[in-house]
């Protein structure tokens, strides 16, 4: 298995632009998580899905952030419009529900908003 695949690895965009981050979870995993990591706040859970359904989006900072999971093999996190304070590393992770194996993380997308 190729693991959790995220794209792009790096993204630099101008303030006000729309940004879309992509994630392909491990085949067979039915839970998917989006995290944001910054020096100040550490790892923050933004949203997670179970069987493609959003279960908890309480971590989504504001309406500028949205996430979708149209099928079991693909998820997107969109920021529109982007702001400099959104600059961070965004991780996608997947797992089996309640699994003992923890999460498998993707390599993250480093987003820089200038």
- Both tokens of 78, joined, read 């969109």
In the bound state with other proteins, the residue whose beta carbon lies nearer, of 74 and 105, is: 105
Backbone angles phi, psi at 85, to 5 degrees: -70, -10
Which range touches other proteins (CB under 8 A), out of 19-27, 40-48, 66-74, 75-83? Answer: 40-48
In the bound state with other proteins, the residue whose beta carbon lies nearer, of 33 and 65, is: 33
Closest-CA residue to 77 (of 51, 111, 26, 107): 111
Binding test (CB under 8 A) with other proteins, winner from 13, 20, 50, 76: 50
Residues 57-96 that bind other proteins (CB under 8 A): 89, 91, 93
Say whether 61 sits in a helix, a strand or coil. Answer: coil
User: What is the enclosing helix (H) or strand (E) of 11?
Assistant: strand 10-13
Q: Are 64 and 91 in contact (CB under 8 A)?
A: no
Q: How far is the CB of 8 from other proteins (least distance, A)?
A: 14
Residue 103 touching other proteins (CB under 8 A): yes
CA distance 107 to 114: 22
Interface residues with other proteins (CB under 8 A)? Answer: 31, 33, 42-43, 45, 48, 50, 55-56, 89, 91, 93, 97-98, 100-105, 107-108, 110
């Amino acid at each position: 298995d190729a693991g959790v695949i995220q794209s792009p690895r790096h993204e630099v965009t101008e303030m006000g632009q729309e940004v879309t981050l992509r994630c392909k979870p491990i085949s067979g995993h039915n839970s998917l998580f989006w995290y944001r990591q910054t020096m100040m706040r550490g790892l923050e859970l933004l949203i997670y899905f179970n069987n493609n359904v959003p279960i908890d989006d309480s971590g989504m900072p504001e309406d500028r952030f949205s996430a979708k999971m149209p099928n079991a093999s693909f998820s997107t996190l969109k920021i529109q419009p982007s702001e400099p304070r959104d600059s961070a590393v965004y991780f996608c992770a997947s797992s089996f529900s309640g699994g003992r194996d923890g999460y498998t993380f993707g390599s993250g997308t480093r987003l820089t908003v200038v």
